[in-house]
Amino acid sequence: MTTLHRLRAEPATPENTADFGWWVGSAALGPVTGSAFYGEAVKLRKPVAQFVTDDTLEVSVATIQPRPLRVSWMERHFLHTQTFIPLGGRPFLLVLAPPTPDAEIPDLNDVRALLFDGSAGFSLRLGTWHEFPMALQADTDVVVLIRRDTVRDLRQKQGNEAQGPDLDKKDMLARCGVTLEVELP
């Protein structure tokens, strides 16, 4: 029997996403500096305090379509700071839960649905549980920073899950009989 666990989506802000990762955009928290060459004409931010990757990082653009706002899978990464950056100002939804180092699935009481308005991206802390971004409009383009081996491991499904050195993708329905359903405001 499937249980629906309802999540009320809320607007994402640098403050309410801090437990899950870092806001990537002009409203990002952190110091702003000028350029040694261009002075105040160029403002620089380094919003991701602990960006982690290696030489296997790849940049891809995912064009995503609206789908039912139901989440059956949650995944986390251990070796890189996966990042999602929208193109064209289109909004997207992320379902997130804090890392659970001693548990195989996220704590359902800590799962949140956050609406990004398209003006900023998001870089996940290591171990943060998440579902792939969900589009609210057709043909939403999102830049994805991800490790090549993680992409390979996602293609090599084991039943309805995927595993790898960096990847832990769990089927929430099979493991605990729960589908997460997001309600938009």
Domains and CATH numbers, the chain: 3-183 (2.60.120.480)
Q: Could you read off the pLDDT tens digit of each residue along the chain, which spans 185 residues?
A: 678 899 999 999 989 999 999 988 887 777 788 888 888 898 887 777 777 787 789 999 999 999 999 999 999 999 999 999 999 999 999 999 999 999 999 999 999 999 999 999 999 999 999 999 999 999 999 999 999 999 999 988 888 999 999 999 999 999 999 999 999 98
pLDDT of residue 146: 94
Q: Dig out the tokens for 136 from the structure.
A: 């609210």
Q: By CB neighbour count within 10 A (0-12 exposed, 13-18 middle, 19+ buried), where does 185 fall?
A: exposed
pTM: 0.90
> β-strands 112-116, 10-11: how paired?
parallel
For residues 71 and 182, the answer to whether their CB atoms sit within 8 Å is yes
pLDDT of residue 56: 86
CA 60 to each of CA 57, 70, 146: distance values in angstroms, whole numbers, following the listed order: 10, 24, 8
**Residue type at 148?**
R
